[in-house]
């Protein structure tokens, strides 16, 4: 069970981790690199609470052996958004009351960010389809959908357009 070294970009920072074969990206991010926004939910790819971006595309980090991200860019909530909650998308979540317990929120924010990066003005239908991989047991999804709609209206700089 020889350990291997994997190098990848975490946000703008190059990181190097020593791992046992097939350790998941989720485990590495949360327990070795302190990215505690990456939740350990179902570990089945069913809840979306571990969602991160690999080269800008959302993936379930619990299903991805860390060896697969060698040389690639990984973004977590910590690297993608400010910790003071000042990003327009975070503000929209706060204003719309788009969370209660908060466990799903990092995953919801990551997939919503990826959606708005791909499609700045998604339809409500597209937003609902996009959030379908992320489970929330508190809100009933309506405030989260409204938050993504509000953030889309506000644009990336938070200014209405």
21 versus 158: smaller Cβ distance to other proteins: 21
Distance of closest approach, residue 7 Cβ to other proteins, in angstroms = 15
* Closer by beta carbon to other proteins, 2 or else 5: 2
**Terminal CA-CA length for the chain:** 55
Compute the distance between CA of residue 95 and CA of residue 150 in angstroms, rounded to an integer. 9
For residue 147, the minimal CB distance to other proteins (Å) is 18
At closest approach, how far in Å is the CB of 62 from other proteins? 7
Q: Which residues are near other proteins by CB under 8 A?
A: 1-2, 4, 20-24, 43-46, 48, 51, 57-60, 62-65, 67-68, 111, 114-115, 128-130, 132-134
Dihedral sign computed on CA atoms, order 68, 70, 71, 73:
positive
3-state class (DSSP) for residue 87? coil
- Whole-number Å distance between alpha carbons of 131 and 123: 12
DSSP reduced 3-state for 91 = helix
CB contact burial 56-66 (16+ within 10 A = b; e otherwise): eebbbbbebeb
Kindly tell me which of 48 and 159 has the beta carbon lying closer to other proteins: 48
Closer residue to other proteins in complex, CB, 39/83: 39
Shortest CB 24 distance to other proteins, Å: 7
**How far is Cα 95 from Cα 58, in angstroms, rounded to an integer?**
24
């Amino acid at each position: 069970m020889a350990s291997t070294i994997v190098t990848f970009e975490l946000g703008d920072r190059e990181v190097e981790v020593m791992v046992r074969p097939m350790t998941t990206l989720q485990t590495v991010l949360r327990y070795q690199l302190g990215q505690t926004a990456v939740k350990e939910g179902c570990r089945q790819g069913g809840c979306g609470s571990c969602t991160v971006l690999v080269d800008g595309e959302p993936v379930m980090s619990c299903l991805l052996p860390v060896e697969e991200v060698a040389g690639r860019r990984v973004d977590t909530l910590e690297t993608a958004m400010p910790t003071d909650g000042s990003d327009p998308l975070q503000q929209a979540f706060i204003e719309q009351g788009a969370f209660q317990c908060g466990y799903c929120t990092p995953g919801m924010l990551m997939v919503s960010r990826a959606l708005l990066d791909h499609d700045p003005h998604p339809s409500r239908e597209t937003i609902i389809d996009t959030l379908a991989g992320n489970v929330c047991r508190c809100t009933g999804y309506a405030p989260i959908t409204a938050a993504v709609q509000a953030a889309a209206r506000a644009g990336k700089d938070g200014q209405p357009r």
